[in-house]
Structure 1
């Protein structure tokens, strides 16, 4: 789940933070993709309007591992 999509849905980082009971700073630190556990929670909070996609996170993990291997081989 992309951070930009979540912020657009709620209207602001502050609104996202309130919905999840976290700080706005935490939302700012997410980067382009929100943490997987937050995605699961947001799907429930929005009644499925925002969708948690396990494959999205699986692909994120694979990409991170690939970058790490490339860095180690240099």
Structure 2
């Protein structure tokens, strides 16, 4: 899951942070690929509209 897709979905860093219960500073520290556990949270929060693409951390 790419940071740019998440920011676009939520409408920017502040909205993303608010939706996830984080500070905007936390969101700004992400690299371009979302950390695996955070990506899982986002997938659940968006009802699958954004998918966790990190296959090495997914259950088989």
Q: Gapped runs of 5+ residues in structure 1?
A: 59-74
Deviation at 1:7, TM superposition (A): 0.1
- Give the match for residue 25 of structure 1: 25
| Larger-Rg structure | 1
- Give the match for residue 38 of structure 2: 38
CA RMSD of aligned residues (A): 0.9
| Equivalent residues, number | 56
Higher relative contact order (CA closer than 8 Å, sequence separation 6+): 2
TM-score by length of 2: 0.86
- Give the match for residue 52 of structure 1: 52
- The answer as to 2:10 corresponding to 1:7 is no
TM-score by length of 1: 0.71
Segments ≥4 residues shifted beyond 2 Å: none
Q: Gapped runs of 5+ residues in structure 2?
A: none
